[in-house]
Amino acid sequence: MTPALAIEIVRAALQAAVLLAAPLLAVALLVGITASVAQAVTGVQEQSLPLILKLVAVGGAFVVLLPWLIAVATRFAERAFAFAAAVGAGGQ
């Protein structure tokens, strides 16, 4: 395995991880900030409210984004198998 191939494998793995996690984390961030601002404005200091809102929002986003998430994961798996085949072919 060449260093360039190893770097490409790590880069593809990190890119897939970011693509899979970023949309759900962004939804959680936006809902958390909105809930915090709403709590500050209304004076409600319930700690479970932002957690429940985030869980519902991330769950909904997951359901909506599931086809895209599966496509990204499948594309990465195909590339990973191609990298494995390239490493195996280079070793013989």
For residue range 33-64, list pLDDT tens digits in order.
Answer: 999 999 999 998 888 989 999 999 999 999 99
pTM: 0.81
With 90 as the cut, is the pLDDT of residue 86 above it? Answer: no
Sign of CA dihedral 11, 18, 89, 91: positive
Q: Which domain holds residue 85?
A: 3-91
Confidence (pLDDT) at 2:
82
The residues, ordered by sequence, that sit 6+ positions from 63 with a Cβ below 8 Å of its Cβ are: none
Task: Express each pLDDT in 14-37 by its tens digit.
Answer: 999 999 999 999 999 999 999 999
* Overall domain count for the chain: 1
